[in-house]
Chain A
Amino acid sequence: MLSIRDLSLEIAGTPILHGVSLDVAPGKVFGLVGESGSGKSMTALSVMRLLPQGARLRGRVSLGGTELTALDERQMCAVRGARVAMIFQEPMTALNPLRTIGEQVAETLVVHGAAPRGEAMRIAREKLDRVGLAADRFDLGRYPFELSGGQRQRVCIAMAIALRPAILIADEPTTALDVTTQAQILALLESLVREEGMGLMLITHDLAVVAGMADEVAVMREGRIVERGPTETLFRTRRHPYTRALLAASSHVPKRAALRSAGAPPVLEVEGAVRDYPLGRGAVFGARGHFRAVDGVSLAVGRGESVGLVGESGCGKSTLARAILGLEPLQVGAIRLEGAPVDAARGVPGALRAKMQVVFQDPFGSFNPRHRVARLVAEPFHLVGRPPDWRDRVAEALQAVGLKPADMEKFPHEFSGGQRQRIAIARAIVIRPRLVILDEAVSALDVSIRAQILELLADLQGRFGLSYLFISHDLAVVRAITDRVLVMRAGRIVEEGPTEAVFAAPRHGYTRQLLAATPRIPEDWLAEETRHGA
């Protein structure tokens, strides 16, 4: 068992962890939750001693009687992968692209001298079978690029469990995966814990994930564990205000004014949209195949309405968004914005483009780092010509999103992720569009920030009469902010209806599958009367 006592960490003089203590027992799941920067990954890396240069560690980390902090780097190498193993968030990049999955799993055995190469390959085969990658489809000679994200995460798990470590640390293992894949990976991890007696330290920002899986939970904030206890008790009592705030934020539903004017013509209409992509030729002179990313989609967004578009990665939702924005031509079908056709093949006039704006997922990648906020927010004006009072309009937009007019002179790197997303929203609303497409706009944000941004979006919708097309893989978010929802799968809309109706009584099997796979905190755990002191 893994036991951490009074662990403190400084990196280049900056304190990161303050007296962290926790225990991970064999055959149990220990959930470590917290927002980004709370120190949960650093706790894990401190156990592994894979810290950046200039790190100073104090306190004790003992693993089955061995004091890990007393070991030198060579001895630590013998511990890593053998007695304590780790998997990470991003399965797409966690594997060496140039080496086969078999080699990479076998390597764990070979570097620890547990088996010669041939024997190691045989064991690698067993482990891949164990994580659900059967031999007939997942030969040892396959390369990571031939596998999906979920399959790659399975390879990482196989690598981690190859030597039956006592402790497995999983750092946001499913954050980058779709809900159905997430459910499968979590089930796999749980079975490894229960069947092989491994202790699992599950690090996540997602309270619902730990609620469904962990035996014990610790909540981290600013390098400290603020609350710790058996999962159900912790959720029910919520002793610490931060735990309460976190739980409230995760299930936050912003209040929205009912704006929808019945009978008015829709702002956006999509009719039978089809978008094909040509595939590479199979043979040099073979026929070219097509991939139909969007397959006969029709939808409408009314004035002041929020429409959710949910689906897993690769279902065509982003392609559809690009088509609506006039960035991709359609093969069949039509898109109309306030009655005017949006046709990428013929070019979309600036005045029409100005009626729709978009906010993307990544608040770090969507700004030119060398421009000041004033210039970034004023960008959409190039569609209609910059008005003489543009600086006032920018200031007004910044105020509308909760920033200060003085922020105009700053650069994007001076803002946090949540603030940058506010700047992105200011940029979208500065020319007063009719429609804002929010493409996973809150997916990269921590729950508390996400709740604030959702609140802001609801507020802006009321103030400016905006229509939203809210694209997301996160069902909870879509449920919180949309009036109607469309469920997309493999290019088609499989179910459509008022949000509450769809979530309460899904008709299509796929919707049911998605909802079932979504981790949820049991509702009676959150009931107000069970709260400590209430």
Chain B
Amino acid sequence: MARYLASRLVSLLVSLAVASLVIFAVIEVIPGDTAAFMLGLNAQPDTVAALRAELGLDLPRSLRYLAWIGGMLTGDFGVSYTYRVPVAELISARLQVSLPLTLYALALSTAIAIPVGLIAAARRGRPADYAIMGVTQLGIAVPNFWFAMLLVALFAVTLRWFSAGGFPGWEAGLWAGLKALTLPAVALALPQASILARVMRSALIETLGQDYIRTARAKGLTEAQAIRAHAFRNALIPVMTILGLQFSFLLAGAIIIENVFFLPGLGRLIFQAITQRDLIVVESTVMLLVFAVILVTFLVDLAYAAIDPRLRR
């Protein structure tokens, strides 16, 4: 176990180091001088030079890279060129929306997908299975913003159970915050749940074809008992992989849903930063997302080890 953990940790650190270098290099080769851009077209060369010095842009690349990494490690992500506030503050404000939204959506999608996948696999080839496959096909095909609009039309406009958008902030209380995130989380969760349910179904069907399921049946287990005791945990392994990917996707990929519901999330922040050439914000959020992805991969690896004794030796 210690060896597995150590090897996963080493791989995590190496991935982070490589990713940071790549991100830094890409930002470096993007044309356009940040200082010149901030000061506008009519800026004097000496003003630009002064701003470059202030921003540290005149230092050698290696030093700037180290300063960037050192800053991030101490929580100093630099100051946004356009907002003129520390990037760390910007990101943490947005994360307060995006992270709970992601977790909420993932929890919903898992809660829907696992039982649905189980039912479909247990009834494979029968009407319930066909119905589930049809519905999940639809869930994957229909874009999530369309669900979002339907949800708004039904629950916000007609039934008035939820507001149509906006986020009151967690200061308004946990309940108010969760309520505001419910419709977007459902809209995000439906396509993800459809994918996950299909993965769960096929993983479970594959597992049910394994020799050890036959052994379990020969011992006298009913099919339901065999699924519960032997197939379920084995089928979770591919499901964990997809869950990890979905987390990463939802964290930054919710931009359309954030726009539909007027949520101040991470996706919108990145979009705005890119359009405004606020490269320091782009650089930091991208690095943060990379960190989140790598961390989730690490957690998924740990989950594999928790499930599979062969990795724990």
Contact = CB atoms under 8 A, between A and B. Distances in A.
A111 B219 contact: yes
B218 A81 contact: yes
Given A77-B220, A97-B234, A143 B215 contact: no
B311 to A, nearest CB: 10
Given A143-B309, A145-B309, A96 B230 contact: yes
B233 A98 contact: yes
Contacts of A107: 216, 219, 221, 229
B309 A98 contact: yes
Interface stretch (A8-16, A85-93, A121-129, A327-335): A85-93
A98 B233 CA distance: 8
A116 B48 CA distance: 80
B308 A93 contact: no
Contacts of B215: 88, 94-96, 156, 159
Nearest to A108: B219
B309 A50 contact: no
Interface string A46-89: 00101001000000000000000000011001111110011110
A98 B216 contact: no
B6, B218, B309 interface centre (most CB from chain A within 10 Å) = B218
Contacts of A74: 222
B220 A99 contact: no
A413 interface: no
A284 interface: yes
Interface string A158-187: 011000000000000000000000000000
Contact of A80 (B125, B220, B307): B220
Given A107-B229, A143-B310, A96 B219 contact: no
A410 interface: no
Interface in A494-533: none
A81 B308 contact: no
A96 B218 contact: no
Interface string A115-153: 000000000000000000000000000010110000000
Given A93-B212, A284-B6, A50 B221 contact: no
A93, A98, A145 interface centre (most CB from chain B within 10 Å) = A98
A264 interface: no
A16 B303 CA distance: 45
B218 A80 contact: yes
Contacts of A143: 309-310
Interface in B193-252: 210-212, 214-222, 225, 229-230, 233-234
B3 interface: yes
A283 interface: yes
A145 B210 contact: no
Nearest to B223: A73
Given A97-B310, A98-B233, A78 B220 contact: yes
A143 B216 CA distance: 16
Chain B interface residue bracket vs A: 20 to 34
A143 B308 CA distance: 10
Nearest to A84: B218
Contacts of B212: 93-97
B219 A85 contact: yes
Given A53-B125, A99-B230, A156-B215, A82 B220 contact: yes
A78 B217 CA distance: 11
A371 interface: no
A145 B310 contact: yes
A94 B217 CA distance: 11
A48 B212 CA distance: 16
Interface string A414-441: 0000000000000000000000000000
A87 B309 CA distance: 24
B217 to A, nearest CB: 6
A404 interface: no
Nearest to B236: A98
Do most interface residues of chain B lie in helix, strand or loop, or is the interface mixed?
helix
Nearest to B310: A145
Contacts of B309: 97-98, 143, 145
Contact of B211 (A85, A94, A112, A284): A94
Nearest to B232: A98
A82 to B, nearest CB: 6
B221 A77 contact: yes
B222 A283 contact: no
A217 B222 CA distance: 32
A241 to B, nearest CB: 35
Interface string B253-277: 0000000000000000000000000
A81 B220 contact: yes
B259 to A, nearest CB: 43
Contacts of A48: 218
B239 to A, nearest CB: 14
Contacts of B233: 98
Contacts of B310: 97, 143, 145
Contact of A88 (B3, B211, B313): B211
A446 to B, nearest CB: 21
Contacts of A93: 210-212
Interface string B295-313: 0000000000001111001
A111 B229 CA distance: 11
Contacts of A280: 3
A96 B220 contact: no
B219 A50 contact: no
Nearest to B215: A94
Contacts of B221: 77, 81, 107, 111
A160 B214 CA distance: 13
A82 B219 CA distance: 7
Contacts of A99: 229-230
B212 to A, nearest CB: 4
Interface in A262-303: 280-281, 283-284
Contacts of B218: 48, 50, 80-81, 85-88, 160
Nearest to B6: A284
Contact of B3 (A82, A95, A283): A283
Nearest to B7: A284
Contacts of B210: 93
A98 B308 contact: yes
A281 B2 CA distance: 12
Nearest to A93: B211
Contacts of A73: 222
A406 to B, nearest CB: 36
Nearest to A81: B220
A11 B252 CA distance: 52
A10 to B, nearest CB: 19
A111 B309 CA distance: 24
Given A79-B220, A145-B309, 17 more contacts: A50-B214, A50-B217, A50-B218, A74-B222, A77-B222, A80-B220, A88-B215, A90-B211, A96-B215, A96-B230, A97-B212, A98-B234, A98-B309, A111-B225, A159-B219, A283-B3, A284-B2
22 contacts: A48-B218, A50-B217, A74-B222, A77-B220, A78-B220, A80-B217, A81-B218, A81-B220, A88-B211, A93-B212, A94-B212, A96-B212, A97-B308, A97-B309, A98-B233, A98-B308, A99-B229, A107-B216, A107-B221, A143-B309, A145-B310, A146-B313
* Closest 9 pairs between A and B when the two form their complex, measured CB to CB: A81-B220, A81-B219, A93-B211, A80-B220, A86-B218, A96-B212, A143-B309, A108-B219, A96-B230
Interface of A: 48, 50, 53, 73-74, 77-82, 85-88, 90, 93-99, 107-108, 111-112, 143, 145-146, 156, 159-160, 280-281, 283-284
